[in-house]
Structure 1
């Protein structure tokens, strides 16, 4: 194991970190603008994930520094695969897993590549990714089609009202008023930047999140926090597009 000075130096060299992990007592992002993130958020919904995941296969998409992948392995998951498109985040995650002595498989790939994994998982974690995508519904379709076997743990940034309108099966062409209703499903397009981040593309309201999940074929089982959903793979709507 690294000595404390060497460990602290390695953590600094791997930075900046977005996940505040504790590695042998050293925090990786103690000054995080969101606080002790993502641990404080995890505390609000950890109860919807089984305490023991023995026999489960878990896929963490957009794993960043690996906080959720580490937690799933600590809960006894047989196999944890974690993917991210950012090599720096993967280096952080591999280092954290190595220091914790946890066997996690890391791969550099995007959500659009999940079919290449060639397997399905009991739990797919898709936290904090959707709003960074130019093609958010395609991503959910790919999860449904290729990797989700049962459960989906989902989170997305939300803006707009928290109310949800009841959606009809069909609307007349002349019906325009619903597009002015704040509780109708919506995705807000960020053309340039939001919070200084050029990868923030589409930010949904709550109704938009729930409509996206349903339209991809996921049934919402739990809604433990404002932005967090535990979903089950259900039946896809008849009109749903099936990606290759």
Structure 2
């Protein structure tokens, strides 16, 4: 795509506001982001943990937003990159950003709860910044493991609470109460209304909670290269398996 500087700036403004700060033709899409140069600053802390050469690989980017990570995967040579999101505004941004970057990426409107429709496993699955926006986070992890997981899961979630992790027995007596008050016990903090002015922030885990839920869904944590990022591989077990509720009129 070749646009004048003025036309490019106007199109970026038309597609805004942007959550991903991306450099498109020398113009930043969200230069005043409250997290700074996000997500680039986070990406540079764990980029080394993902293979630099992805030729022959397929990548699924769940909750792709404006496509920052999808573009990074394609620029590393991935044969196929599919970015999915449920927000049409983000998808429009992602398609435009990919055109400006001159990379071929497919973007589709799809919920994480419906990824079984894809009918394909991907070598690498990115699940970045989605977990805490989900009303049913463990179901989503189960669906990722059951339907699309190939070799590598790159998972990221906001943490709150303690970063301690307790070593726990596999069972506890009914009389056990104090354990649940320990900072390192796995926890999900429930947000009834809003967090950071966002009504889609539902569950915020502590570190122990993230790690326990990943294991429960059938993932082995292979690396923890950044505070919120986990590199995981599938285990032989698929965890608790996904439960499929009967679809009602709000299922779309």
Taking structure 1 as the reference length, the TM-score comes to 0.98
Give how far 1:86 is off: 0.3
Give how far 1:243 is off: 3.5
Give how far 1:235 is off: 2.4
Inter-partner Cα distance in structure 2 for 1:173 and 1:138: 26
Give how far 1:237 is off: 6.6
The residue number in structure 2 matching 1:22 is 23
In the alignment, is residue 131 of structure 1 matched against residue 132 of structure 2? yes
Q: Which runs of 5+ in 2 are unaligned?
A: 245-252
Q: Deviations over 1:146-200 (max 9, x none)?
A: 0001100000000011110012110101111111111000000000111110000
Q: Deviations over 1:96-140 (max 9, x none)?
A: 001111110000011001000110000000000000000000000
Would the aligned equivalents of 1:190 and 1:202 in 2 still touch at CA under 8 Å? yes
Inter-partner Cα distance in structure 2 for 1:154 and 1:120: 16
Inter-partner Cα distance in structure 1 for 2:206 and 2:241: 22
Inter-partner Cα distance in structure 2 for 1:148 and 1:128: 18
The residue number in structure 1 matching 2:210 is 209
The residue number in structure 1 matching 2:108 is 107
The residue number in structure 2 matching 1:197 is 198
Matches within 5 A, 1:52-91: 52-91=53-92
Q: Deviations over 1:49-83 (max 9, x none)?
A: 01110000000000000000000000000000000
The residue number in structure 1 matching 2:150 is 149
Inter-partner Cα distance in structure 2 for 1:237 and 1:141: 7
Give how far 1:236 is off: 2.3
* Secondary structure, aligned partner of 1:43: helix
Inter-partner Cα distance in structure 2 for 1:19 and 1:27: 9
The 1:88/1:51 distance shift into structure 2, 3 A limit, reads same
Would the aligned equivalents of 1:215 and 1:236 in 2 still touch at CA under 8 Å? no
Would the aligned equivalents of 2:65 and 2:91 in 1 still touch at CA under 8 Å? yes
Inter-partner Cα distance in structure 1 for 2:39 and 2:13: 19
User: Cα RMSD between the aligned structures?
Assistant: 0.9
The residue number in structure 1 matching 2:248 is none
Q: Report the number of matched residues.
A: 243
Would the aligned equivalents of 2:221 and 2:232 in 1 still touch at CA under 8 Å? yes
Inter-partner Cα distance in structure 1 for 2:68 and 2:241: 33
Q: Which runs of 5+ in 1 are unaligned?
A: none
Structure 1 residue runs of 4 or more that deviate by more than 2 Å after TM superposition: 235-238, 241-244
Would the aligned equivalents of 1:145 and 1:243 in 2 still touch at CA under 8 Å? no
